[in-house]
Every structure is written in C-alpha cells, then in structure tokens.
Amino acid sequence: MPAISNLSGKFMLRLRVASFFLAFVILSFIPGFLEAASATGSQEGSIVKPADSVAVRDLKANPDENKFNPGEMIMEHVVDNHEWHIATIGRLNLCIPLPVFLFCEGKFYAFWSSAFHNEEHSFRGFIISEKGKNKGKILTLKEEMTGKGPAVYDFSITKTVLAIFLSGLFLILIFVNVAGRYKQNANVAPHGLQNMLEPLILFVRDDVAKSSIGEKHYEKYLPYLLTIFFFIFFNNLLGIIPIFPGGANVTGNIAVTGVMAIFTGIITAFSGNRHYWVDIINTPGVPWWLKLPFPLIPIIEIIGVLTKPFVLMVRLFANMTAGHVLILALISIIFIFGNKFSPGLGIGVGIPAMLFMVFMNLLELLVAFIQAYVFTLLSALYFGLAITEPEHN
C-alpha cells in the first residue's frame, strides 16, 4: 500500500494536467458551434442546419435499403463514421449526429452530419462518398461526380474521435478519484475501484516496466506504459458493449493504433543511448564483409527499428478487428438463413450461433486484456533495449 500511495502521488499532477488538457480540447470546439449557430437564419443557405439530438432517416423512399446486407452491417460497425448508429427499428435508422468541421477553398464549414439526411444526401456542395476508394469520406459534389475537385480537409468529430474523448474522460475521472483516495487514506485498505485497479497497476509496474526496463530507469517510462495499457484495455472493453457509449471499434482503427505505435517508436529513438545506436550501425559479432563495402546488416537493423512500430500497429489493429468481424458474422448467419430459406431455419441456426457468439464474447474479454498487455510489454521491451548499458568484463 505505501508503494501505491507514492505511485499515486506522482500521477496526481499528471492526471490533473491531462484532465485540463482534455477539457481544453473539448471546449475548443464550442466557438465553432457558436459561430455556426449565429449564422443560422441570418443568411441564405447558412452552413448550419438545425438538427435534433437523434437523427431519424426514413427509408421508405428506397425499400431495397431495408434488405439485410451482412457486408454493409459488418463494415458499418468496424469502420469509422460521421454519425453514431444506435438501432434500426422497422424502416427507421436511429443515430446520433456528430459535428462536421470542413475546410475547403479557404472557407470553414461547420454543421451536423444529419444535414446529409436528405434526398440528394448532400449539403452545401459536400457529400459523403458511398463508392470507390473514398467511401466514407466527405468530398465535394464535383469530385464525387468527376473524380477531380478541390481538396477537402476534414476535422470532424467522428465516431472514433468521440469514443476516444469519452474513454479519455472516463479514465481521467476514474484515476483522479482513485489517486485522491490513496492520497487521503494512505493507511486504509483499498476498496471499490481501488481494489480492482491496484493489481493491474502493480502488474504493469512490477511485471512489465521493472522486468523489461530495469529498476534504475523504469519510473520515467511508467506513466506512458500505464496510460497505453489502460487506454487500450478500457477501449477494448467498451468495444464489446453493443450500446452507446460502447460499440466503437477504437483499437480496431489503424490510425489510432498507428499513433500509439509512433509514440512508442519516438520514445524509443530518443531514449536510445550511444551503445544502442552503435550496435545498430556496427553490430558486434557480424563479419566485416556484411558491413563493407555494402552495409547490408546496418540497413537491416535500421529497417528493424522502423518496422517495430509497424508491427505494434498492425498486431493490435488486426486482432481487435478480427474479433469484431467474427462476432458480427455469427449474428449475420441468423438473418442470412432466415431471409434465404425460412424464419424457422434462421431460429434453428441462431441457437448454436448465439451460444458460440457468447463464447466469443467471453473470449474477447480475455483478448482485451492480452492485447493491452502485449502492446505495453513490447513497448517496455523496446525502451529497455534502447537504454541497455554495455557489459564490462
């Protein structure tokens, strides 16, 4: 307990700074909303279209859209989106519209994604592409029709971005509260959230950071390692929950895993001591003819430095995406058999499919922890290798 108390004291300031930073990020969008709202009704074709808190799309105009398409359903849940789909009830799609921020040809545009819910599926000359390599991206109508048009810089709050804000806010509130309890009650046995999180914190500190980096240097890397562990673990768990605010495939988004991997690579590069870089350029124990005149081994070693973050990125992305796809595919089997053959056969197939889906969801709980552990452990190993001192005989 004293160790946790000391640990929480060091994190307290960092967590408070992080909470202020997150609040600043969220509040920074308010001027855009106010500026956009002030334009409503003041000029023809204002950039903001009034929208309800829940957007409702009527699908009666196109009955084909009611037909179950397993590929579209799976991709809708796996990829990012400009709105947060809640449920489909009959012919109505219930979804939460998200703010769209665009910069195009020197002009800034701000409106809700529900503005695209019209007959043309476009607004202010923009459209969400539904085909080709740009599917899901916001383009100008000109580029959508001709393939050429002005560049559109999209700074929107998408489903993944909103999920990151929410999970970040939840984590800050949880850990500030837990750290505060440790600081105020240092000699009291932990309970509640403290009792649940303490084993995880100690596990990352003792079995990941200390064992991989060493007693001497592990403390300066511990805040980063704890952050990525709990961020990945928490978002993995939220991704399993099918209802809002869960269901977003944050760690299955390659951009998110890529950013975390890049941070690990940057920290590793800047932490590397002279011995680390000399071993890469002039690897000991390798014949000279593999280094001169053509530096084959140094090139391979440098490529290895660059591929380590790439492996981190792809491993987490692929494992989490595969899990979500498999569970959604099991659900799709029920509707496929029901639509193609008979509702009775769909129900019959649905029973074993649902049982296997429950098993997969339980397995996903284990995978959620394993993937957070693997990413954190590999990051710690890279840091440890970068700061290893040469052995003196």
- Residue spans of the domains in the chain: they are 30-126, 161-386
Cα separation, 12 vs 18, in Å, equals 10
pLDDT greater than 80 at residue 162: yes
pLDDT-derived band at 363 (thresholds 50, 70, 90) equals confident
Asked if residues 144 and 125 have their Cβ atoms less than 8 Å apart, the reply is no
Asked if residue 245 has a cis previous peptide bond (ω within 30° of 0), the answer is: yes
Q: Which residue has the higher pLDDT, 153 or 93?
A: 153
Average pLDDT over residues 160-174: 90
Q: What are phi and psi for residue 102, nearest 5 degrees?
A: -125, 145
- Token duo for residue 248: 């977003």
> What is the length of the chain?
393
Amino acid at 334: I
Q: What angle do CA 101, 232, 222 make, to 5 degrees?
A: 115
Based on its alpha-carbon atoms, the radius of gyration of the chain, rounded to whole angstroms, reads: 25
Residue 66, pLDDT score: 54
Q: Which of 82-86, 87-91, 205-209, 220-224 has the lowest mean pLDDT?
A: 87-91
Cα separation, 90 vs 58, in Å, equals 10
Rounded (10°) CA dihedral 382, 384, 386, 391: -140
Residue 9, pLDDT score: 53
DSSP for 228-292 reads: HHHHHHHHHHHHH--STTS---STT-HHHHHHHHHHHHHHHHHH--HHHHHHHHS-TTS-GGGTS
Residue 334, pLDDT score: 80
Cα separation, 125 vs 315, in Å, equals 39
Note the pLDDT tens digit of each residue in 237-256.
888 887 787 778 888 889 99
**Count of CB atoms within 10 A of residue 198's CB?**
18
Residue 10, pLDDT score: 52
Average pLDDT over residues 102-118: 87
Cα separation, 30 vs 138, in Å, equals 22
**Residue of 83, 103, 101 lying closest to 93 (CA atoms):** 83
Average pLDDT over residues 306-318: 90
Query: How would you class 279 by CB atoms within 10 Å of its CB: exposed for 0-12, middle for 13-18, buried for 19 or more?
Result: middle
Residue 40, pLDDT score: 35
pLDDT greater than 80 at residue 355: yes
Average pLDDT over residues 369-382: 93
Cα separation, 375 vs 377, in Å, equals 6
**Count of CB atoms within 10 A of residue 195's CB?**
11
Q: Which residue has the higher pLDDT, 96 or 188?
A: 96
Q: Which of 18-22, 151-155, 162-166, 324-328 has the lowest mean pLDDT?
A: 18-22
pLDDT greater than 80 at residue 125: yes
Residue 128, pLDDT score: 85
**Residue of 316, 307, 319, 314 lying closest to 375 (CA atoms):** 316
Asked if residue 2 has a cis previous peptide bond (ω within 30° of 0), the answer is: no
Q: Where are the alpha helices (DSSP H) in the chain?
A: 2-27, 30-39, 70-78, 141-146, 159-184, 193-203, 211-213, 218-240, 254-271, 274-281, 296-340, 343-386
Strand partners, 126: 123, 140
On average, the pLDDT of the chain sits at: 77
Cα separation, 349 vs 244, in Å, equals 28
Q: What are phi and psi for residue 217, nearest 5 degrees?
A: -120, -5
**pLDDT above 90 covers what percent of the chain?**
16
Residues 341-350: contacts with CB under 8 Å, at least 24 apart:
none
Average pLDDT over residues 290-304: 80
Cα separation, 292 vs 365, in Å, equals 51
pLDDT-derived band at 324 (thresholds 50, 70, 90) equals confident
Q: Which of 63-67, 146-150, 226-230, 238-242 has the lowest mean pLDDT?
A: 63-67
Q: Which residue has the higher pLDDT, 340 or 99?
A: 99
Strand partners, 109: 102
Query: How would you class 324 by CB atoms within 10 Å of its CB: exposed for 0-12, middle for 13-18, buried for 19 or more?
Result: buried
Q: Which residue has the higher pLDDT, 296 or 267?
A: 267
Residues 185-194: contacts with CB under 8 Å, at least 24 apart:
186/1, 186/2, 186/5, 187/1, 189/1, 190/1, 190/4
pLDDT greater than 90 at residue 67: no
